[in-house]
Amino acid sequence: MEFHPIRLLLGVLLAFAFPNSGLAQLTLNVNAPASVRVSNTIPYAITVGSPNQGFTTVQVRSTYSPSLDFVSATQNENVSSTPGNNSVSFLIQQLLPGSNVVLNLTLRPRVVTTVTNLFEATIGQFVVRTNVSTVVTEIPGTADVAVSITPPPQPIILNDWVTFGVTLVNRGGGTVSGIILTNTFTNGPVLIRGYRPSTGGSVAQNPRRVIFNVGDLVAGQTTNYQITIQPTAATNIFLRANFRFSGNMDTNAANNTATAAINVQRPGTNLLEAEIASRPQQFNPQNAAMEQRITVTNVGATAALSARVTFSNLTYQVLNAVGTNNGLPFVVHPATIQPGQGVEMLIEYFIPSREPRPDPELIAYSIGDVTPTASVNGSGVLITNIVWRRPVGAMTESNLVLEFPSTNRATYEVQYSSVPEFTNALRALPTIIAQANRVLWVDYGPPKTVSRPRLGSDVLTNIATNSIPMTNEVVTTTNGTIITNFVVTNIVAVITNYTTNLNMRFYRAIQLP
Q: For 465, phi and psi rounded to 5 degrees?
A: -95, -10
Q: Are the folds of 6-137 and 272-365 the same? A: yes
Please give the Cα distance from 104 to 48 (Å, whole number). Answer: 11
pLDDT at 456: 45
**pLDDT tens by residue, 406-438:** 999 899 999 988 777 777 889 999 999 998 999
Helix/strand/coil (H/E/C) assignment for every residue in 404-452: EECCCCCEEEEEEECCCCCCCCEECCCCEECCCCEEEEEECCCCCCCCC
The residues spanned by each domain of the chain are 6-137, 145-265, 272-365, 379-511
SS3 410: coil
Per the CB < 8 A criterion, the answer to whether 314 and 363 are in contact is: no
Please give the Cα distance from 361 to 167 (Å, whole number). Answer: 38
Q: Which of the following CATH numbers is that of domain 145-265: 2.40.160.40, 2.60.40.1530, 1.20.1080.10, 3.10.20.340? A: 2.60.40.1530
Does 272-365 carry CATH code 2.60.40? yes
134: nearest Cα among 64, 71, 85, 70: 64
pLDDT at 201: 61
Element (H, E) at 217: strand 209-217
pLDDT at 348: 96
Please give the Cα distance from 398 to 393 (Å, whole number). Answer: 11
Per the CB < 8 A criterion, the answer to whether 58 and 122 are in contact is: yes
Q: Which of the following CATH numbers is that of domain 6-137: 2.60.40.740, 3.40.50.12160, 1.10.3720.10, 3.40.50.300? A: 2.60.40.740
Please give the Cα distance from 298 to 321 (Å, whole number). Answer: 21
Each of the 513 residues of the chain gets a pLDDT tens digit; together they read 443 333 333 333 232 233 333 335 788 999 999 999 876 899 999 999 888 878 888 999 999 988 898 989 988 888 888 888 889 999 998 888 888 899 999 998 888 789 999 999 988 778 889 999 999 886 666 678 899 998 887 789 999 999 999 999 888 767 888 889 999 998 888 888 888 876 656 677 677 889 998 888 887 888 889 899 999 999 999 999 999 887 666 777 888 999 999 999 888 766 899 999 999 999 998 888 999 999 999 998 988 888 999 999 999 999 999 999 988 999 999 889 999 999 999 999 999 999 999 999 999 988 888 888 888 777 888 888 888 888 888 998 888 888 999 999 899 999 988 777 777 889 999 999 998 999 999 999 999 999 887 654 333 333 333 333 333 233 333 333 332 322 222 333 333 333 333 346 788 898 887
Centre a 10 Å sphere on the Cβ of residue 444 and count the other Cβ atoms it contains. 28
Could you give the C-alpha distances from 440 to 204, 349, 373, 387, 435, in angstroms and in order? 38, 16, 22, 10, 10
368: nearest Cα among 328, 308, 416: 308
Characterize the bridge pairing of strands 257-265 and 156-157.
parallel
pTM above 0.75, yes or no: no
pLDDT at 57: 86
pLDDT at 154: 77
